[in-house]
Protein backbone atom coordinates (compact mmCIF):
# COMPACT_ATOMS: atom_id res chain seq x y z
CA UNK A 1 0.00 0.00 0.00
CA UNK A 2 1.18 3.51 -0.75
CA UNK A 3 -0.07 6.81 0.59
CA UNK A 4 -0.89 9.76 -1.64
CA UNK A 5 -0.82 13.39 -0.68
CA UNK A 6 -3.56 15.83 -1.58
CA UNK A 7 -3.20 18.49 -4.23
CA UNK A 8 -6.34 20.26 -3.07
CA UNK A 9 -6.91 23.06 -0.60
CA UNK A 10 -9.87 24.66 1.09
CA UNK A 11 -12.88 22.57 2.11
CA UNK A 12 -12.21 18.98 3.11
CA UNK A 13 -12.10 16.88 -0.06
CA UNK A 14 -13.73 13.50 -0.59
CA UNK A 15 -11.07 10.92 0.30
CA UNK A 16 -10.61 8.18 -2.30
CA UNK A 17 -8.75 4.88 -1.97
CA UNK A 18 -7.69 3.26 -5.27
CA UNK A 19 -7.44 -0.55 -5.34
CA UNK A 20 -5.93 -1.77 -8.62
CA UNK A 21 -2.98 -4.06 -9.36
CA UNK A 22 -1.95 -2.14 -12.49
CA UNK A 23 0.71 0.48 -11.78
CA UNK A 24 -0.32 2.32 -14.94
CA UNK A 25 -3.95 2.49 -13.82
CA UNK A 26 -2.90 3.54 -10.32
CA UNK A 27 -0.98 6.50 -11.74
CA UNK A 28 -3.68 7.41 -14.25
CA UNK A 29 -6.51 7.33 -11.72
CA UNK A 30 -4.49 9.25 -9.14
CA UNK A 31 -3.81 11.98 -11.68
CA UNK A 32 -7.47 12.18 -12.72
CA UNK A 33 -8.90 12.08 -9.20
CA UNK A 34 -6.48 14.59 -7.73
CA UNK A 35 -7.27 16.89 -10.64
CA UNK A 36 -11.01 16.74 -9.99
CA UNK A 37 -12.30 19.53 -7.71
CA UNK A 38 -13.30 18.20 -4.30
CA UNK A 39 -11.52 14.82 -4.49
CA UNK A 40 -8.14 13.45 -3.43
CA UNK A 41 -6.46 10.06 -3.49
CA UNK A 42 -5.36 9.19 0.04
CA UNK A 43 -3.94 5.76 -0.72
CA UNK A 44 -3.28 3.07 -3.32
CA UNK A 45 -3.48 -0.70 -2.89
CA UNK A 46 -2.49 -3.42 -5.35
CA UNK A 47 -4.29 -6.42 -3.83
CA UNK A 48 -7.40 -7.30 -1.87
CA UNK A 49 -5.38 -7.78 1.29
CA UNK A 50 -3.68 -4.41 0.95
CA UNK A 51 -7.03 -2.84 0.14
CA UNK A 52 -8.64 -4.15 3.32
CA UNK A 53 -5.75 -2.96 5.47
CA UNK A 54 -5.83 0.46 3.82
CA UNK A 55 -9.55 0.84 4.45
CA UNK A 56 -9.06 0.15 8.15
CA UNK A 57 -6.11 2.53 8.41
CA UNK A 58 -7.15 5.42 6.16
CA UNK A 59 -10.99 5.36 6.44
CA UNK A 60 -11.69 6.59 2.90
CA UNK A 61 -14.98 8.17 1.84
CA UNK A 62 -15.06 6.33 -1.50
CA UNK A 63 -13.33 3.18 -2.75
CA UNK A 64 -12.49 2.47 -6.39
CA UNK A 65 -12.06 -1.26 -6.97
CA UNK A 66 -10.72 -3.34 -9.85
CA UNK A 67 -12.38 -6.75 -9.66
CA UNK A 68 -9.54 -8.54 -11.48
CA UNK A 69 -7.08 -8.43 -8.60
CA UNK A 70 -4.43 -11.12 -7.99
CA UNK A 71 -6.21 -14.32 -7.05
CA UNK A 72 -9.46 -12.85 -8.43
CA UNK A 73 -10.34 -11.63 -4.97
CA UNK A 74 -12.02 -8.36 -5.97
CA UNK A 75 -15.52 -9.67 -5.31
CA UNK A 76 -14.44 -11.13 -1.97
CA UNK A 77 -13.04 -7.76 -0.88
CA UNK A 78 -16.24 -6.03 -2.01
CA UNK A 79 -18.44 -8.44 -0.04
CA UNK A 80 -16.28 -8.01 3.05
CA UNK A 81 -16.34 -4.21 2.82
CA UNK A 82 -20.08 -3.95 2.25
CA UNK A 83 -20.85 -6.38 5.05
CA UNK A 84 -19.00 -4.33 7.63
CA UNK A 85 -19.09 -0.73 6.38
CA UNK A 86 -21.55 1.22 4.17
CA UNK A 87 -18.68 2.57 2.07
CA UNK A 88 -19.51 3.68 -1.49
CA UNK A 89 -17.57 1.37 -3.81
CA UNK A 90 -17.02 2.28 -7.47
CA UNK A 91 -16.09 -0.64 -9.72
CA UNK A 92 -13.50 0.11 -12.41
CA UNK A 93 -13.68 -2.88 -14.74
CA UNK A 94 -12.61 -4.18 -18.12
CA UNK A 95 -15.18 -3.79 -20.87
CA UNK A 96 -17.95 -6.38 -21.27
CA UNK A 97 -16.94 -9.96 -22.02
CA UNK A 98 -16.34 -12.33 -19.12
CA UNK A 99 -15.91 -9.35 -16.79
CA UNK A 100 -19.53 -8.32 -17.25
CA UNK A 101 -20.82 -11.12 -15.01
CA UNK A 102 -18.48 -10.10 -12.21
CA UNK A 103 -19.42 -6.46 -12.61
CA UNK A 104 -23.15 -7.12 -12.41
CA UNK A 105 -22.60 -9.44 -9.45
CA UNK A 106 -20.70 -6.58 -7.79
CA UNK A 107 -23.62 -4.23 -8.38
CA UNK A 108 -26.01 -6.81 -6.95
CA UNK A 109 -23.81 -7.03 -3.86
CA UNK A 110 -24.12 -3.27 -3.40
CA UNK A 111 -21.37 -1.52 -5.36
CA UNK A 112 -22.53 2.01 -6.04
CA UNK A 113 -21.64 2.16 -9.75
CA UNK A 114 -19.12 1.05 -12.35
CA UNK A 115 -17.12 2.45 -15.22
CA UNK A 116 -15.10 0.72 -17.90
CA UNK A 117 -11.34 0.96 -18.20
CA UNK A 118 -10.05 2.67 -21.34
CA UNK A 119 -9.45 0.20 -24.16
CA UNK A 120 -8.02 2.55 -26.77
CA UNK A 121 -11.00 2.20 -29.12
CA UNK A 122 -14.62 2.76 -28.10
CA UNK A 123 -13.73 3.75 -24.54
CA UNK A 124 -11.04 6.42 -25.00
CA UNK A 125 -8.84 7.98 -22.33
CA UNK A 126 -10.81 11.20 -22.61
CA UNK A 127 -14.07 9.33 -22.13
CA UNK A 128 -12.65 7.43 -19.18
CA UNK A 129 -11.61 10.66 -17.47
CA UNK A 130 -15.07 12.13 -17.93
CA UNK A 131 -16.88 9.01 -16.72
CA UNK A 132 -14.58 8.50 -13.74
CA UNK A 133 -15.16 12.01 -12.40
CA UNK A 134 -18.93 11.76 -12.95
CA UNK A 135 -19.03 8.36 -11.21
CA UNK A 136 -17.05 9.73 -8.26
CA UNK A 137 -19.57 12.56 -7.96
CA UNK A 138 -22.40 10.02 -7.90
CA UNK A 139 -20.57 7.99 -5.27
CA UNK A 140 -19.99 11.06 -3.12
CA UNK A 141 -23.67 12.02 -3.40
CA UNK A 142 -24.68 8.56 -2.25
CA UNK A 143 -22.77 8.53 1.04
CA UNK A 144 -25.55 10.00 3.19
CA UNK A 145 -28.16 7.52 1.99
CA UNK A 146 -26.09 4.40 1.64
CA UNK A 147 -26.43 2.99 5.14
CA UNK A 148 -30.23 3.38 5.17
CA UNK A 149 -30.54 1.95 1.67
CA UNK A 150 -28.53 -1.16 2.53
CA UNK A 151 -30.49 -1.65 5.75
CA UNK A 152 -33.75 -1.54 3.78
CA UNK A 153 -32.32 -3.97 1.21
CA UNK A 154 -31.51 -6.43 3.98
CA UNK A 155 -35.04 -6.06 5.33
CA UNK A 156 -36.40 -6.75 1.85
CA UNK A 157 -34.43 -9.99 1.66
CA UNK A 158 -35.78 -11.10 5.02
CA UNK A 159 -39.38 -10.23 4.19
CA UNK A 160 -39.86 -12.35 1.10
CA UNK A 161 -43.24 -14.09 1.48
CA UNK A 162 -43.37 -12.45 -1.96
CA UNK A 163 -47.04 -11.44 -2.10
CA UNK A 164 -48.27 -14.67 -3.69
CA UNK A 165 -51.54 -14.23 -1.85
CA UNK A 166 -51.85 -10.69 -3.18
CA UNK A 167 -51.51 -12.07 -6.71
CA UNK A 168 -54.69 -14.10 -6.45
CA UNK A 169 -56.90 -11.13 -7.32
CA UNK A 170 -55.18 -10.82 -10.69
CA UNK A 171 -56.42 -14.12 -12.04
CA UNK A 172 -58.67 -13.43 -14.97
CA UNK A 173 -57.05 -10.09 -15.72
CA UNK A 174 -53.69 -8.39 -15.99
CA UNK A 175 -52.42 -4.85 -16.24
CA UNK A 176 -51.23 -4.15 -19.75
CA UNK A 177 -47.71 -3.18 -18.71
CA UNK A 178 -45.47 -2.23 -15.80
CA UNK A 179 -42.65 0.15 -16.81
CA UNK A 180 -39.58 0.55 -14.57
CA UNK A 181 -36.74 3.06 -14.80
CA UNK A 182 -33.53 3.18 -12.75
CA UNK A 183 -29.93 4.36 -12.76
CA UNK A 184 -27.28 4.55 -10.02
CA UNK A 185 -27.95 1.81 -7.46
CA UNK A 186 -30.66 0.38 -9.68
CA UNK A 187 -29.33 -3.14 -10.29
CA UNK A 188 -30.34 -4.58 -6.88
CA UNK A 189 -33.39 -2.29 -6.71
CA UNK A 190 -34.77 -3.50 -10.06
CA UNK A 191 -34.13 -7.09 -9.00
CA UNK A 192 -36.03 -6.59 -5.73
CA UNK A 193 -39.04 -4.98 -7.40
CA UNK A 194 -39.24 -7.53 -10.22
CA UNK A 195 -38.95 -10.43 -7.81
CA UNK A 196 -41.89 -9.04 -5.83
CA UNK A 197 -43.92 -8.43 -9.01
CA UNK A 198 -43.20 -11.84 -10.55
CA UNK A 199 -46.32 -13.62 -9.13
CA UNK A 200 -48.54 -11.14 -11.01
CA UNK A 201 -47.24 -12.41 -14.39
CA UNK A 202 -47.66 -8.93 -15.89
CA UNK A 203 -45.39 -7.82 -18.78
CA UNK A 204 -42.56 -5.57 -17.56
CA UNK A 205 -40.25 -3.20 -19.44
CA UNK A 206 -37.06 -1.89 -17.85
CA UNK A 207 -34.60 0.87 -18.64
CA UNK A 208 -31.53 0.61 -16.41
CA UNK A 209 -28.71 2.95 -17.39
CA UNK A 210 -25.96 0.57 -18.48
CA UNK A 211 -23.53 0.49 -21.43
CA UNK A 212 -23.43 -2.17 -24.17
CA UNK A 213 -22.01 -5.51 -23.14
CA UNK A 214 -23.80 -5.60 -19.80
CA UNK A 215 -27.55 -5.52 -20.37
CA UNK A 216 -27.70 -9.04 -21.82
CA UNK A 217 -25.92 -10.41 -18.73
CA UNK A 218 -28.12 -8.28 -16.50
CA UNK A 219 -31.20 -9.78 -18.16
CA UNK A 220 -29.92 -13.31 -17.60
CA UNK A 221 -29.26 -12.66 -13.92
CA UNK A 222 -32.71 -11.07 -13.50
CA UNK A 223 -34.30 -14.17 -15.05
CA UNK A 224 -32.50 -16.40 -12.56
CA UNK A 225 -33.36 -14.19 -9.58
CA UNK A 226 -37.03 -13.57 -10.41
CA UNK A 227 -38.23 -16.66 -12.27
CA UNK A 228 -39.53 -14.44 -15.07
CA UNK A 229 -38.70 -14.78 -18.75
CA UNK A 230 -36.33 -11.80 -18.91
CA UNK A 231 -34.68 -10.86 -22.19
CA UNK A 232 -32.66 -8.03 -23.64
CA UNK A 233 -35.16 -6.18 -25.82
CA UNK A 234 -34.95 -6.56 -29.60
CA UNK A 235 -36.77 -4.53 -32.22
CA UNK A 236 -40.17 -6.12 -32.91
CA UNK A 237 -40.04 -8.42 -29.87
CA UNK A 238 -43.49 -9.19 -28.40
CA UNK A 239 -44.08 -8.91 -24.66
CA UNK A 240 -46.18 -11.65 -23.08
CA UNK A 241 -47.48 -12.30 -19.55
CA UNK A 242 -44.67 -13.49 -17.30
CA UNK A 243 -42.10 -11.81 -19.53
CA UNK A 244 -39.84 -8.78 -19.02
CA UNK A 245 -37.51 -6.88 -21.34
CA UNK A 246 -34.46 -4.79 -20.54
CA UNK A 247 -33.45 -1.96 -22.87
CA UNK A 248 -30.11 -2.78 -24.49
CA UNK A 249 -27.25 -0.44 -23.69
CA UNK A 250 -26.12 1.70 -26.58
CA UNK A 251 -27.35 4.32 -29.01
CA UNK A 252 -30.97 3.16 -29.30
CA UNK A 253 -33.97 4.07 -27.15
CA UNK A 254 -36.63 1.52 -26.14
CA UNK A 255 -40.28 2.27 -26.80
CA UNK A 256 -43.24 -0.02 -26.11
CA UNK A 257 -46.16 0.14 -28.52
CA UNK A 258 -49.57 -1.52 -28.72
CA UNK A 259 -49.72 -3.04 -32.20
CA UNK A 260 -53.09 -4.67 -32.78
CA UNK A 261 -53.29 -5.75 -29.16
CA UNK A 262 -49.71 -6.98 -28.96
CA UNK A 263 -47.15 -5.28 -26.73
CA UNK A 264 -44.23 -4.65 -29.08
CA UNK A 265 -40.68 -3.45 -28.42
CA UNK A 266 -39.41 -0.74 -30.74
CA UNK A 267 -35.75 0.30 -30.76
CA UNK A 268 -34.99 3.69 -32.28
CA UNK A 269 -31.70 5.47 -32.74
CA UNK A 270 -31.64 9.05 -31.63
CA UNK A 271 -29.80 11.67 -29.59
CA UNK A 272 -29.40 11.47 -25.85
CA UNK A 273 -32.59 12.29 -23.96
CA UNK A 274 -32.24 13.62 -20.42
CA UNK A 275 -28.55 12.85 -20.86
CA UNK A 276 -29.00 9.15 -21.59
CA UNK A 277 -29.48 6.49 -24.22
CA UNK A 278 -31.46 4.44 -23.61
CA UNK A 279 -33.58 6.95 -21.73
CA UNK A 280 -36.24 6.24 -19.14
CA UNK A 281 -38.13 9.31 -20.33
CA UNK A 282 -38.41 7.94 -23.86
CA UNK A 283 -39.81 4.62 -22.64
CA UNK A 284 -42.26 6.26 -20.21
CA UNK A 285 -43.54 8.67 -22.89
CA UNK A 286 -44.16 5.76 -25.27
CA UNK A 287 -46.09 3.88 -22.57
CA UNK A 288 -48.18 7.00 -21.87
CA UNK A 289 -49.07 7.28 -25.57
CA UNK A 290 -49.82 3.60 -26.17
CA UNK A 291 -51.39 2.42 -22.91
CA UNK A 292 -52.78 5.48 -21.11
CA UNK A 293 -54.46 4.36 -17.87
CA UNK A 294 -53.68 0.68 -18.50
CA UNK A 295 -50.12 0.86 -17.16
CA UNK A 296 -48.05 1.37 -14.04
CA UNK A 297 -44.88 3.48 -13.96
CA UNK A 298 -42.15 2.96 -11.33
CA UNK A 299 -39.10 5.22 -10.99
CA UNK A 300 -36.24 3.94 -8.84
CA UNK A 301 -32.93 5.20 -7.51
CA UNK A 302 -30.67 7.24 -9.78
CA UNK A 303 -28.69 10.42 -10.33
CA UNK A 304 -30.19 13.24 -12.39
CA UNK A 305 -33.77 13.55 -13.61
CA UNK A 306 -34.21 10.99 -16.39
CA UNK A 307 -37.70 9.53 -16.14
CA UNK A 308 -39.29 12.44 -14.27
CA UNK A 309 -40.96 14.04 -17.32
CA UNK A 310 -41.99 10.68 -18.73
CA UNK A 311 -43.53 9.61 -15.42
CA UNK A 312 -45.51 12.85 -15.38
CA UNK A 313 -46.75 12.08 -18.90
CA UNK A 314 -47.86 8.65 -17.72
CA UNK A 315 -49.74 10.17 -14.78
CA UNK A 316 -51.46 12.71 -17.04
CA UNK A 317 -52.47 9.83 -19.32
CA UNK A 318 -54.19 8.14 -16.37
CA UNK A 319 -51.55 5.59 -15.38
CA UNK A 320 -50.68 4.82 -11.79
CA UNK A 321 -47.19 6.04 -10.86
CA UNK A 322 -44.85 5.31 -7.95
CA UNK A 323 -41.35 6.36 -6.92
CA UNK A 324 -38.86 4.78 -4.55
CA UNK A 325 -38.60 6.59 -1.22
CA UNK A 326 -35.50 8.70 -0.71
CA UNK A 327 -34.30 6.88 2.38
CA UNK A 328 -34.15 3.59 0.45
CA UNK A 329 -32.49 5.07 -2.66
CA UNK A 330 -28.74 4.92 -3.15
CA UNK A 331 -29.10 8.28 -4.93
CA UNK A 332 -32.41 10.12 -4.64
CA UNK A 333 -32.10 12.16 -7.82
CA UNK A 334 -34.56 10.78 -10.37
CA UNK A 335 -37.35 9.98 -7.88
CA UNK A 336 -37.01 13.36 -6.19
CA UNK A 337 -37.16 15.17 -9.55
CA UNK A 338 -40.35 13.27 -10.43
CA UNK A 339 -41.99 14.12 -7.12
CA UNK A 340 -41.11 17.80 -7.42
CA UNK A 341 -42.95 18.16 -10.74
CA UNK A 342 -46.01 16.26 -9.56
CA UNK A 343 -45.40 13.01 -11.45
CA UNK A 344 -46.66 11.01 -8.48
CA UNK A 345 -47.96 11.22 -4.94
CA UNK A 346 -46.93 7.66 -4.07
CA UNK A 347 -43.52 7.50 -2.40
CA UNK A 348 -42.87 3.89 -1.41
CA UNK A 349 -39.95 2.11 0.31
CA UNK A 350 -38.16 -0.31 -1.99
CA UNK A 351 -39.30 -3.46 -0.21
CA UNK A 352 -42.96 -2.38 -0.37
CA UNK A 353 -43.23 -1.38 -4.04
CA UNK A 354 -44.35 -4.81 -5.23
CA UNK A 355 -47.13 -4.96 -2.65
CA UNK A 356 -48.19 -1.39 -3.47
CA UNK A 357 -48.54 -2.28 -7.16
CA UNK A 358 -50.54 -5.38 -6.23
CA UNK A 359 -52.90 -3.25 -4.18
CA UNK A 360 -53.34 -0.77 -7.04
CA UNK A 361 -54.20 -3.55 -9.45
CA UNK A 362 -56.82 -4.83 -7.06
CA UNK A 363 -58.39 -1.40 -6.60
CA UNK A 364 -58.31 -0.20 -10.21
CA UNK A 365 -60.33 -2.29 -12.68
CA UNK A 366 -59.17 0.10 -15.43
CA UNK A 367 -55.65 -1.25 -15.00
CA UNK A 368 -56.80 -4.72 -15.89
CA UNK A 369 -57.71 -6.19 -19.22
CA UNK A 370 -59.70 -9.35 -19.72
Of 56, 51, 57, 126, residue with least CA distance to 91: 51
Task: Give the residue among 263, 262, 266, 264 at the shortest CA–CA distance from 252.
Answer: 266
- Give the end-to-end CA distance of the chain in Å, rounded to a whole number: 64
DSSP one-letter string for 272-311: -BTTBSS-HHHHHHHHHHHHTTSEEEEE-SBSS-TTHHHH
d(CA 31, CA 17) in angstroms, rounded, equals: 13
CA distance 171 to 312: 29
- Which listed residue (131, 209, 276, 294) is catalytic? 209
Which of 131, 306, 309, 325 is the catalytic position?
306
Q: Which of these is catalytic: 47, 142, 176, 183?
A: 183
Q: Is 306 a catalytic residue?
A: yes
- Is residue 188 a contact partner of residue 195, using CB atoms and an 8 Å limit? no
Picking from 208, 183, 186, 222, the residue whose alpha carbon sits closest to that of residue 304 is 183
Active site residue 183: yes
Cis ω on the peptide bond leading into residue 278 (within 30° of 0)? yes
Residues contacting 310, CB < 8 A, separation 6+? 181, 280, 281, 282, 283, 284, 285, 287, 288, 297
61 is catalytic: no
Q: In whole angstroms, what is the distance from residue 114 CA to residue 105 CA?
A: 11
In whole angstroms, how far apart are CA 65 and each of 79, 115, 166, 250? 12, 10, 41, 24
What positions carry a catalytic annotation? 183, 209, 306
Amino acid sequence: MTLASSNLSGAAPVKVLVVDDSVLMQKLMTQIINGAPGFEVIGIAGSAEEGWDAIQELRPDVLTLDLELPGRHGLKLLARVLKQDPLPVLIVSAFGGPGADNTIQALELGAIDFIEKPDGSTNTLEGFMKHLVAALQRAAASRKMLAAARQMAQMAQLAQPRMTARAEFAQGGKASLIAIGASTGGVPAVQTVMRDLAPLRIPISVVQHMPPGYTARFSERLATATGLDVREAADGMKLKPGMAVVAPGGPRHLEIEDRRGELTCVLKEGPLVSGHSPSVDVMFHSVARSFGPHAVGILLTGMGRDGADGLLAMRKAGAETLIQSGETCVVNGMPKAAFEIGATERVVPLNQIGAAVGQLLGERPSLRTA
